[in-house]
Structure 1
Amino acid sequence: MAASGGEQTVSGYIQHHLTNATVGEGFMAVHVDTLAWSVGLGILFLYLFRKAAKSMTAGVPGKFQAAVEIIVEFVDDTVKGTYHGKSPLIAPLALTIFVWVLLMNLMDLVPVDFLPWAAQQIGAAMGYDPHHVYMKVVPTTDVNMTFALSLGVFILMIFYSIKIKGVGGFLKELYAHPFNTPWLYWFNFVLELVSLLAKPLSLSLRLFGNLYAGELIFILIAGTMGLWQLPLHFIWAAFHLLVIPLQAFIFMMLTIVYLSLASEEH
């Protein structure tokens, strides 16, 4: 029975850490923690890069300015080598996606109990039951957030396809490719429609799956080891340092590739 109770306690601990702070029910439910952290990190990105731009010097740059310049040049080179259309929007969009997703992913390195515990103390001071105060601090572990990002990319794909190829050209890509034969138009349309819809779906699930799995391991370490979690936490965090920027880069890179394909004239 003790083992069973321990398992239930660990299970409840994990469930608590995987639950969003939610307002509303059903389709109208809003994950306020995901929105708050994602908007806050977006504002942080704007503040840091604006500060770097305002304090930029022509001489020897400081460490912060050099770091920002490295990121900007890296993204700019990636866009130039990947995007074959002409649009002033793509490079700023790619920079925003990369840095914003990177900042959201970096929240995964914060010890899993620290910020939720702080939220519980604030909730208790406001008269709420601490056990019913939830706080997920990694926005990219919420599939709603990753799907919202990919949906924005999907809308831009449709926009650029229609803008450059026209409505007729966009539709013709759906029904006349790969087999430009009238009696196979229906087959082409089904095939291309599935391929088109799979792009934002795979884009969102890839980011969500990798970050959710990483966060779950942090929670398992904390839930089973208690105060002795820190050595294993830092070991897993060191490995996770490779995953965090890699997933931000993949999301940015696929966004550029999809928009480049949408901008090609056939």
Structure 2
Amino acid sequence: MHEIGVREVVTYAGMQFNIETLEMTWLAMAIVIIIAFLATRGLKMVPSGWQNVIEMVIVWLNEQIGTTIGSRGQLVAPFLITLFLFLLVSNWIGLIPTLASPTNDLNTTLGLALLVIVMLHVLGLYYKGFNYIKHFFQPVAPFVIINLIEEIAKPITLAFRLFGNILAGEILIIILLLLVPVWMPVPSVVWLAFSLFIGAVQAFIFTMLSMSYLANAMKDDEKH
């Protein structure tokens, strides 16, 4: 059973790395790749098994992307779908008592949030040019301070929301395993099922917020 919040730190080239977080991140990535391989192996016109499950997720997310961002959303659809699958797997890894979710480390959630924000500004400049910079000074120029604070807050709130919920879930699971006798598994099973639900919801919320932020940069204002 791992210790929540305790990370093995390795120093390399003058930099420190949380080795457990890196290992769990690579594990989550490997699981996503394996799921994608299983889903695309021997594709059928009438899907079944893994293909059916993944197609349902992709179709559902594509509908959300189309509704939120519009036709330009197809550019970032692969990123958002992969982000959701990675977060889902990462959140669920920590439900195994001997493992830890990569997302219970603030370094992971903050890194993902910063990636989304960098994409937001790059795509905003690409699609809207000077108008994208101009919107920071609206409705009047002094509002640039408030708008900049809001931009700084976006990655912080994204990162801490996911990190806090996943960390709290793992802590409660470990506490239940320590307090509940082995002959009374019902509370643990109920909490485990609830944690599966929370992990999926948190992956969805992070993805939808990312989608919403990107929509502000990519949507065609003349058409929407």
Per the normalisation by structure 1, the TM-score is 0.76
Question: Are residues 1:256 and 2:211 paired?
Answer: yes
- Does the Cα contact within 8 Å between 2:69 and 2:219 map onto a contact in 1? no
Q: After the TM superposition, which of the residue ranges 212-221 and 138-147 deviates more from structure 2?
A: 212-221
Q: After the TM superposition, which of the residue ranges 30-39 and 151-160 deviates more from structure 2?
A: 30-39
1:36 offset after TM fit, Å?
1.3
Label 1:92 to 1:51 Cα distance change in 2 as closer, same or farther (>3 A).
Answer: same
Instruction: List per-residue Cα deviations over 1:104-124 (Å, max 9, x = no partner).
Output: 0111321x2xx2xxxxxxxxx
Distance in 2, Cα, partners of 1:74 & 1:169: 32
Distance in 2, Cα, partners of 1:233 & 1:23: 34
Letter of the 1:97 partner, please give it. L
Letter of the 2:76 partner, please give it. I
1:225 offset after TM fit, Å?
4.3
Distance in 2, Cα, partners of 1:188 & 1:229: 57
Match of 1:161 in 2: 124
Instruction: List per-residue Cα deviations over 1:54-91 (Å, max 9, x = no partner).
Output: 31112x33222111111111111111111135153311
Label 1:69 to 1:157 Cα distance change in 2 as closer, same or farther (>3 A).
Answer: same
Instruction: Tell me the secondary structure at the aligned position of residue 165 of structure 2.
Output: helix
Match of 1:216 in 2: 171
- Does the Cα contact within 8 Å between 1:140 and 1:146 map onto a contact in 2? yes
Match of 1:203 in 2: 158
Match of 1:239 in 2: 194
Match of 1:129 in 2: none
Distance in 1, Cα, partners of 2:10 & 2:61: 37
Distance in 2, Cα, partners of 1:172 & 1:85: 24
Q: Which has the higher helix share?
A: 1
2:23 corresponds, among 12, 36, 53, to 36
Q: Which aligned pairs between 1:23-172 and structure 2 lie closer than 5 A?
A: 23-24=10-11, 28-58=15-45, 60-84=46-70, 86-110=72-96, 112=97, 115=98, 137-166=100-129, 168-172=130-134
Label 1:254 to 1:93 Cα distance change in 2 as closer, same or farther (>3 A).
Answer: same
Distance in 1, Cα, partners of 2:47 & 2:10: 46
Instruction: Tell me the secondary structure at the aligned position of residue 19 of structure 1.
Output: coil
C-alpha RMSD of the superposition: 2.2
Distance in 1, Cα, partners of 2:59 & 2:190: 31
Instruction: List per-residue Cα deviations over 1:164-220 (Å, max 9, x = no partner).
Output: 121x32321122x122xxxxx2x2111100111111111111111111111111122
Distance in 2, Cα, partners of 1:216 & 1:230: 17
Label 1:195 to 1:55 Cα distance change in 2 as closer, same or farther (>3 A).
Answer: same
Runs (5+) with no aligned partner, structure 2: none
Runs (5+) with no aligned partner, structure 1: 1-12, 116-135, 180-184
1:43 offset after TM fit, Å?
2.3
Q: Which aligned pairs between 1:15-30 and structure 2 lie closer than 5 A?
A: 16-24=3-11, 28-30=15-17
Distance in 2, Cα, partners of 1:76 & 1:63: 20
- Does the Cα contact within 8 Å between 1:45 and 1:99 map onto a contact in 2? yes
Instruction: List per-residue Cα deviations over 1:86-143 (Å, max 9, x = no partner).
Output: 1533111111011110000111321x2xx2xxxxxxxxxxxxxxxxxxxx52111111
Instruction: List per-residue Cα deviations over 1:17-48 (Å, max 9, x = no partner).
Output: 320121139x9321111111112211221232
Q: How many residues align?
A: 220
Distance in 2, Cα, partners of 1:204 & 1:89: 24
